[in-house]
Amino acid sequence: MNPLAVLIALVSLATGGLCAACPNPEVESKTYTTEDGTVITNVAYVAQFSLKCSNGAKEIPLYAEVGGKTYPVVLYGRDHYQVSWAEELKSSGSGTYTVNLFDEEGYGLIRKAMRNNEDISSIKPLHTISVRHPGTYQGPWLNSEFLAVILSLIVWYSAFSTKSKLLL
């Protein structure tokens, strides 16, 4: 066996994977949701964030859990991440969605808990982000075409009844 490989394995075990861990994460996030539902079938949710670890770790693989579903987190740049998902317009409602961020170890625990039908709320996330969705605008209650027809019927009725009164 290669002595260098043994040394690397021992150092990795001794540090307990501290190289990939992110203690005391500092997260700055921006969120976006689709609010105009007049021409769409799905509502998009996007959370972009930057992650800075106190130990200086960079490019950490992350995963997100939202409402019992897991999503991959995309890394762009050295410390900028993005997670996005979509829901059908009918099932999406207004409110605040909690995005739980996990590293590889936490993601493994989440997958194991889901596989065994266990509660995942006891697994501590690396960080949480709140995505506020104010709701989706789906157009006015009454369309303008409907209002134009009603208004024209009212004008026609008033003209017809006035004409009838004048002729009698």
| pLDDT at residue number 92 | 83
Among 46-55, 65-74, 110-119, 156-165, the least confident range:
156-165
Q: Which helix (H) or strand (E) holds 4?
A: helix 3-15
Residue from 96, 140, 143, 103 nearest 123 by CA: 103
CATH tag for 16-137 (out of 1.20.120, 2.60.40, 2.40.50, 3.30.70): 2.60.40
SS3 call for 3: helix
How are beta strands 95-102 and 63-66 bridged, if at all?
antiparallel
Domain boundaries, given as residue ranges, for the chain? 16-137, 140-168
State pLDDT tens for residues 139-166: 777 778 888 899 999 999 999 888 888 8
Main-chain dihedrals φ then ψ at residue 153, nearest 5 degrees: -65, -40
State pLDDT tens for residues 14-54: 444 434 578 888 999 999 999 887 788 899 999 999 999 98
